[in-house]
Chains A and B, each alone.
Chain A
């Protein structure tokens, strides 16, 4: 047991421990060894306090706030439980925001999964230990720099005068780019002010959160299962469908929980690359900041939680958590 460790450590140190020291530590170690429940309480106490008080506590307050309302004249919060705020939430304009945000989150999730899977598969099955470390680093290094800086960098990359427009013009495909930008809803005056650009940046910033869990789930699929499938007559495509994908599915769902919820709550990317149509994060930001309508902001925040709950229930019914 780890509680025994200090005793042997000391005995290895240059100055031999006094008899009294040794017996005191021994007694403590024995005391703890015989009381596994106490050890468990000591181990779990701090994280539980953190989780319950700070995490769940603030969520509960958020939830309560959403049932308060704002006095339209004084701008004061009326601390009486009411559904009035949720009634205000339920306007066509706000429903548009939910639909827009959820569609973007879904599109980003699908795209990251499609991009991450081959990379994760290569890392899990073929890459040498060294190459795997390099790839891990390549996936993780972007997370070390400020997210804000990276999003602003993308604004320049996607701008009308940016490198992508230049590159497309070198390929004599400017007309094609313009045609794509003319597409309804997803288009815009330039890539840096369009849902398409936003989508590209979202996929870029959340991709690592998909690669890592998918890679971990693929790593746990033994090689012999793939050989067994081939041995029983399955072509590689059939093995992928019947063996690899079902077994990697929990990893894809784990990754999609990140990509989906991170997109749902983000306000920096829509703010930097979007147009005047809001996303949930932006709405919350403006409600807390300029409008100072905390109850409505809280109600807005409850929506992505609801969407995530529905999403997770859907994933469970597809069997995503059976293997856990």
Chain B
């Protein structure tokens, strides 16, 4: 995953317009060989269109798509060395699990014995051994997910495309599958292009993330880069929670009215009248709402002349009684200025 890795995918000024709608707008993006790359964005941001363009289900209005240096623009899906895990799994209902996984090999007229051997390997990889005679209707959501993954991986694609594959699973299973997907990716060493709207999922699995908004890339970076130095207000708000401080409040704190952001977990709550640590930023307010979440507590603090600030505190020593009693109290919010992030001009 170093900079010298060869490119797996390159989007060169790719646009896809549907009439007036610019689903993907002049996109240029490089994906390195062997990395777990995530396209993160809200619905309608063009992330799924981007995946469909690479799979070949859709053709760009303009621009080029290169797969391992070869121009694949205009090639149909069945000629491209990429495979897809679909959002609705798209398992063939009239075939068994084994036949579903073997489908690509059957199409390529691979010998029956070889097919059986590789299906066995895949079933082992996704921990589905012994279920190959079942039909998709007899499987749970998580199992269907695994079959869809095995069916796509068996062809050893150059790039595996995953379109919100965990969206239909419940939270526990989703978290478990996230860890498993990452492990599988490291084991097979195939480039994964993962599309999701779930920032936590993106942060959990990805080597690098591209944040999409309105058909354009807002920022590309590793999870810590995106979280710690968001390039725009959109990224700051979409990846994790951010407090935006602007106008008069910003001027009171740092001397200029330039908007900046600060993450809620960097802020500490102090009782009024305690000594302000040297060099720290501070602002006074009143606790409007306390949301007790077990591991941590979220406070909404009203600031005079500004937006509410969100503060997250770990419940290390505090009990729920103590925490909830803070409602309505006047407090001082304190944080180190190193956590202030200037944002790019893009809104």
Q: Is A9 an interface residue (CB 8 A)?
A: no
| Stretch from A48-56, A148-156, A230-238 forming part of the interface with B | A230-238
Q: In the complex the two chains form, what is the Cα distance from A235 to B109 in whole Å?
A: 13
Interface pair A222/B88, CB less than 8 Å apart: yes
> Bound state CA distance, A309 and B250, in angstroms?
84
B107 touching A225, Cβ below 8 Å: no
Q: Could you say which residues of chain A place their CB within 8 Å of the CB of B151?
A: 228, 232
Min Cβ gap B117→A in Å is: 18
Contact indicator A232/B94 (Cβ below 8 Å): no
Q: How far is the CA of A82 from the CA of B277 in the complex (A)?
A: 112
Q: Does B104 contact A (CB under 8 A)?
A: yes
Write out the residue numbers on chain A whose beta carbons fall within 8 Å of the beta carbon of B76.
230
Residues of chain A at the chain B interface (Cβ within 8 Å): 222, 224-225, 227-235, 238, 242-243, 246-247, 322-323
For the complex of A and B, list the 3 residue pairs with the smallest distance between their C-beta atoms, beginning with the closest: A232-B104, A224-B90, A228-B90
Residue of B nearest to A232 (CB): B104
Asked if B18 is at the interface of the complex by the 8 Å CB criterion, the answer is: no
Interface string of B71-84 (1 = CB under 8 A from A): 00000111000111
Query: Is B36 among interface residues, defined by CB-CB distance under 8 A?
Result: no
Q: Is the CB of A233 within 8 A of B90?
A: no
Q: What residue in chain B is nearest A239 (Cβ atoms)?
A: B78
Contact yes or no, B107 A322, CB < 8 A: no
B84 near A228 with CB under 8 A, answer yes
Q: Are B94 and A231 in contact (CB under 8 A)?
A: no
Contact assessment for B94 and A229 in the assembled complex, using a CB-CB cutoff below 8 Å? no
List chain A residues, Cβ under 8 A from B94.
Answer: 246-247, 322-323
Nearest residue (CB) in B for A234 is B107
Residue from the list A233, A242, A247 in contact with B78, Cβ < 8 A:
A233
CB within 8 Å of A: which of B89-132?
90-94, 103-104, 106-108
Q: How far is the CB of B280 from chain A (nearest CB, A)?
A: 54
A234-B78 in contact (CB<8A): yes
Q: Using Cβ atoms and an 8 Å threshold, which residues of chain B touch A238?
A: 107
> Could you tell me the distance between the alpha carbons of A259 and B103 in the complex, rounded to whole angstroms?
34
- CA–CA, A235 to B76, complex, Å? 9
User: Could you tell me the distance between the alpha carbons of A323 and B137 in the complex, rounded to whole angstroms?
Assistant: 11
Chain A contacts for B87, CB-based, 8 A: 224
Q: Which of chain B's residues has its CB closest to A227's CB?
A: B57
State A233–B87 Cα separation when bound (angstroms): 19
B177 at the interface (CB under 8 A from A): no
A227→B88 contact, CB < 8 A? no
Query: B55 an interface residue at 8 Å Cβ cutoff?
Result: yes
Complexed CA–CA distance, A232 and B86 (Å): 12
